[in-house]
Amino acid sequence: MIVERARAYIITFIIFIVSDAYSNPIIQQIDQYISTLNISKSKMMVVFDIDDTILSNKDPIESHNDFSIPHLIAYQHRASLTKIQETKEVYDWLNYNNIKVTFITFRCEIHRLSTIKNLYEQGFRNWDSLIMYGEPCNYAITKAVDFKRNERKKLSLNGFHIVAAIGDQYSDLKGGYTDLFFKLKDPGYFTE
Q: What topology does CATH give the domain 22-183?
A: Rossmann fold (3.40.50)
Q: Taking all residues of the chain, what is their mean pLDDT, rounded to a whole number?
A: 84
Q: Which of 105, 114, 111 minimizes the C-alpha distance to 80?
A: 114
**DSSP state, residue 168:** S
pLDDT at 139: 83
98 — phi, psi (to 5°)? 55, 40
pLDDT at 23: 73
Could you write out the DSSP letters of every residue in 43-103? GEEEEE--BTTTEE-HHHHHHHTS--HHHHHHHHHHT-PEE-HHHHHHHHHHHHTT-EEEE
CA dist 129 and 165 (Å) reads: 14
pLDDT tens sequence across 141-166: 999 999 999 999 999 999 999 999 99
- Across 90-107, average pLDDT: 97
pLDDT tens sequence across 16-64: 333 444 579 999 999 999 999 999 999 999 999 999 999 988 776 666 5
Question: What pTM, to 2 d.p., does this model score?
Answer: 0.83
Q: Which of 71, 47, 69 minimizes the C-alpha distance to 59?
A: 71
- Across 80-84, average pLDDT: 90
